[in-house]
Structure 1
Amino acid sequence: MDEVKQLVQDIKNGNLKPIYFLMGEEPYYIDKISDFIEETVLSEEERGFNQVVLYGRDITVEDIVSNAKRYPMMAEYQVVIVKEAQDLSRTIEKLTPYAENPQRSTILVINYKYKKIDKRKALYKGINKVGVVYESKKLYENQVADWIRRVLSPKDYTITPKASQMLVEFLGTDLSKISNELQKLQIILPTGSQITPELIEENIGISKDFNNFELRKAIGERNVVKAHQIVNYFSENPKDNPMVMTISLLFNFFSQLLHFHGLNDKSPRSVASALKINPYFVNEYINAARNYPMKKVSAIVATLREFDVKSKGVGANAISQGDLLKELLVKIL
């Protein structure tokens, strides 16, 4: 995120490069940087003659070079933006000669989503010498809550840890989807508001009481009644609560609990650092460790692996996902 801020600031300051090659698994920042260049480098009057957007599925690398080599009309720069350039992955290396000698009055922006170019090859070296190669990496799940907080902070909004966890659980690590939901909340909430689980439930439709986060907590506390209530809810709403996601979250939880048991320093700060979790959730692990000794945790991890296979139809074709989940819960508790 800091790299993106610096890149945007450089563009604002007029420190422009002839090529921006935006690549990687996370499309959110690729789109953000590309859109920022599209909207700010040229004035509205200049864009009509000097800005073109191309799509990888419709063009060749030769088309890109041909457009990039044109001169601007009544402007200092022209901007050429290539979207979905990953569709040209088999021929993208043909861009090397242009990268080694780019048109200085052209700002060429390549959006190369979900893939990367080989950093050992001439294309990468050529672009990196004269332009910018930005790799947008996928965030790990335990990094997304902090990302949400950092995105909201400049806009004068805050969010509770549980609300962040609900968004991550429901939307995964897809930053574009999370950003869209946050924007919806910002439209209806006054500046300075705190986003709470109740607001998430009311406006996005994620249950604050019946979700994987609450199931994990109930299991950790050995709250049998609450855990069964949540699993019954999941059984009645299987499309909104896929078993594979539940197993994945529980597997991560008990794997971390196994790690917790092996820690010498179990102070809250040390635990948060070692498990890479928000300090807000440390007590959840401390309480769970009291309820599940290491031997029991090891057995649960093995059970979760077994049920992960079953949830994918191996050896359990005739059993519904809901019944499998109920059986899993009994074995854990």
Structure 2
Amino acid sequence: MDEVKQIVADINKGQIKPIYLLIGDEPYYIDAISTYIEKNVLTEAEKGFNQMILYGRDVAIDDIVSNAKRYPMMAERQVVIVKEAQDLARTIDNLLAYAKNPQPSTVLVLNYKYKKFDKRKAVYKAIKKTGVVYESKKLYDNKVAEWIRRVLAGKNYTISPKAAQMLVEFLGNDLSKINNELEKLKIVLPEGTQISAEHIEENIGISKDYNNFELRKAIGDRDSLKAFKIVKYFADNPKDNPMVVTVSLLFSFFSQLLHYHGLHDKNPRNVASALKINPYFVNEYVLAARNFPMRKVSEVIAVLREFDVKGKGVNSNSVSQGDLLKELMVRLLA
């Protein structure tokens, strides 16, 4: 995020480079930088003749170079944005000559998503020398809640740890999807609001009581009644609560719990740092560790591996995912 802010700040200062190569697996920041350039480098009056949007599947490198070498009309610069530039992967080397000597009055933006860009290529090194290369990497799941908090803080909102975790567990690490949901919340909630689990439930449709976060907590507490209620809800709503996600999140939780058991220093601050969790959730691990000694945790992890395979249709004899989840709860809470 800091690198993105620096790119935007440089553009605002007029320190605009002739080429921006935006690469990586996370499209959110690639789109954010590209959109910012599209909206802010030229005035509305200049855009008609001097801004062009191309798509990798529809053009060749020669077309891009031809457009990039044009001189702007009644403007200091022109902007050429190539979306889905990864479709040009096989011929991207043909951009080398232009990358070495780009047109100074052109801002060429290459949105190269999802595919790896070989950093050993001469064209990559040339662009890095004459322009800007930004790599947008997928955030690890344990970093997403903090990203949510930072984004909201920049918009004068806060969010409770539980609400942030609900978004992460429901939407994963897809920043574009998460941002879309945050934008919805901004529409209905005034600035300065602390977004709560209730706000998430009312406006996004994620149940605050029946979700993987609450299931994990119920299992850690050995609250069988609550765990089975949640699993029944999952069984009744399988599309919104796929078993593969539930098992994956439980596996992550118990793996962290195994790590907790192995810590010599169980000071809350050290636990939060070692497990890479919000300090708010430390007590949940402390209680779960009492209910699941190290040996039991190892057994649970083995059971989860077994049910991960069953949930994918192996040796499950066409048993429904709802019934598999119920069986899993029996095994975990036995």
Which TM-score band applies after superposition, normalised by the shorter structure? over 0.9
How far apart in 2 are the matches of 1:279 and 1:134?
32
What is the CA-CA distance between 1:116 and the residue it aligns to? 2.8
- Are 1:47 and 2:47 counterparts? yes
Match of 2:166 in 1: 166
Match of 1:256 in 2: 256
1:139-154 counterparts in 2 under 5 A? 139-154=139-154
Cα shift readout 1:173-231 (whole Å, capped 9, x = no counterpart): 11011101101110111111111000110111100000000000000000111001001
* 1:124 maps to amino acid: Y
How far apart in 2 are the matches of 1:319 and 1:125?
54
What is the CA-CA distance between 1:97 and the residue it aligns to? 1.2
What is the CA-CA distance between 1:318 and the residue it aligns to? 1.8
1:179-198 counterparts in 2 under 5 A? 179-198=179-198
1:234-273 counterparts in 2 under 5 A? 234-273=234-273
What is the CA-CA distance between 1:272 and the residue it aligns to? 0.6
- Are 1:108 and 2:108 counterparts? yes
Q: Could you tell me which runs of 5 or more consecutive residues in structure 2 were left unpaired when the two chains were aligned.
A: none
How far apart in 2 are the matches of 1:277 and 1:89?
38
Relative to structure 1, the CA distance from residue 12 to residue 322 in structure 2 (aligned partners, 3 Å threshold; closer, same or farther) is same
* 2:172 maps to amino acid: G
Match of 1:137 in 2: 137
Cα shift readout 1:147-183 (whole Å, capped 9, x = no counterpart): 0111011211110000001111111111011101101
Q: Indicate the percent of aligned positions where both proteins have the same amino acid.
A: 73
What is the CA-CA distance between 1:94 and the residue it aligns to? 1.3
SS in 2 for 1:155: coil
SS in 1 for 2:127: helix
Cα shift readout 1:247-277 (whole Å, capped 9, x = no counterpart): 0000000000001110111111001111111
How far apart in 1 are the matches of 2:98 and 2:263?
54
What is the CA-CA distance between 1:8 and the residue it aligns to? 0.4
Greater mean alpha carbon deviation, residues 115-124 or residues 305-314 = 115-124
1:1-333 counterparts in 2 under 5 A? 1-333=1-333
The Cα RMSD (Å) is 0.7
TM-score with structure 1 setting the length = 0.99
What is the CA-CA distance between 1:317 and the residue it aligns to? 3.3
SS in 2 for 1:58: coil
* 1:276 maps to amino acid: K
How far apart in 2 are the matches of 1:319 and 1:117?
43
TM-score with structure 2 setting the length = 0.99
What is the CA-CA distance between 1:314 and the residue it aligns to? 0.5
* 1:275 maps to amino acid: L
Moved >3 Å (runs of 4+): none
How far apart in 2 are the matches of 1:279 and 1:70?
56
- The count of residues paired between Structure 1 and Structure 2 equals 333
How far apart in 1 are the matches of 2:311 and 2:281?
28
